Amino acid sequence: MGFAGAMVVAMAVDALVGWPAPLFARIGHPVTWLGRLIAAIDAAWNRASDPPALRRAAGVAGALVAIALAVAIGWMLQSVLSSGWIQIALVGVLAWPLVALRSLYDHVAAVATPLQAGDIAGAREAVSRIVGRDPAVLDEAGIARAAIESLAENASDGIVAPVFWGALFGLPGIFGYKAINTLDSMIGHRSERHEAFGWAAARIDDVANFIPARLTGFLFVLLAPQRSEALSCMTRDARRHRSPNAGWPEAAMAGALGVRLSGPRTYHGSVTNEPWLNDGARDPHPADLVEGLTIYRRAMLLLAGLLAILAFA
């Protein structure tokens, strides 16, 4: 239960200070360190001349190496820490960089501010920093939709999931999860280069996010203005999403706000036809993005409160 308390510390520190820009400029960030390791593995082991089966095997090995190294570093750090309250505080501080609570809020709020002011160009520029779709083709509703989807999905991937695994296993859990999530974001794509090599990274990420994604969805349901609509939308539409996990928080948020999310989107000039979540509802407005941030903030407070009860009650 001490690990649950450490995650409360991590969330509190991140909410207060985030990851300061001067610190990032000086030493980078643990996720960028992981990124360099994964990029090196990809460059060395993902050879275009190899047959797909060999590239898949190499991807499995590469993913396991990256995850095992992250877990081992977490275990070594945790093993030398004192027990009791000191351990809770130190594990929390060491876990803090891997909880993106404030960063997610700030990035989505940076979209909401110009969007509310009618500054579509500014909102497009801000949303391009958090989504991969073509911002030039997004109108007001498209920008709001993209930002709400990013908020919902990354609440699971960036906060709930690392906190979940950290609460279970401490530093090995949260370090291992961030390695899994970074692997998926870098090589878990169905591109020509990573179709085979990134197969294991994508599958492992699906397993690691199975419970956290559903937990995030239920947190949004509990904080929704209309809980029954949010619950109904989540249980009905979550499985329609292309991802086995992202649909849960996104569908819950769609129902909570009474808007439709997902649907067709454009990447690099090509339209991808995705099914709607909460089909038949209206398109989101700028005010819905602000309301989504409110639900997110309250959901994270609820999560911290539940962890505190689990740890200290």
> What are 55-77's pLDDT values in tens digits?
999 999 999 999 999 999 999 99
Structural tokens at position 145: 């939709």
Residue 143 has pLDDT above 80, yes or no: yes
The answer on pLDDT for 33 being more than 70 is yes
Mean confidence (pLDDT) of the chain = 95
- Among 121-135, 170-184, 206-220, name the one with the lowest average pLDDT: 121-135
pLDDT at 1 over 70: no
What is the spatial distance between Cα 201 and Cα 120, in angstroms, rounded to a whole number?
36
Please give the pLDDT value at position 36. 97
Q: Provide the whole-model pTM.
A: 0.94
SS3 content of the chain, % helix, strand, coil (to 5): 75, 5, 20
What local confidence, expressed as pLDDT, does residue 211 receive? 98
Q: Does residue 269 register a pLDDT over 80?
A: no
Helix (H, G, I), strand (E, B) or coil at 190: coil
Over residues 108-127, mean pLDDT: 96
- The torsion defined by the Cα of 76, 82, 86 and 90, in degrees rounded to 10, comes to -10
| pLDDT tens by residue, 150-196 | 999 999 999 999 999 999 999 999 999 999 999 999 999 888 999 99
pLDDT at residue 139, as a whole number: 93
Buried b (16+ CB within 10 A) or exposed e, 106-138: ebbebbbebbeeeeeeebbebbbebbebbbeeb
Q: For residue 249, what pLDDT is reported?
A: 98
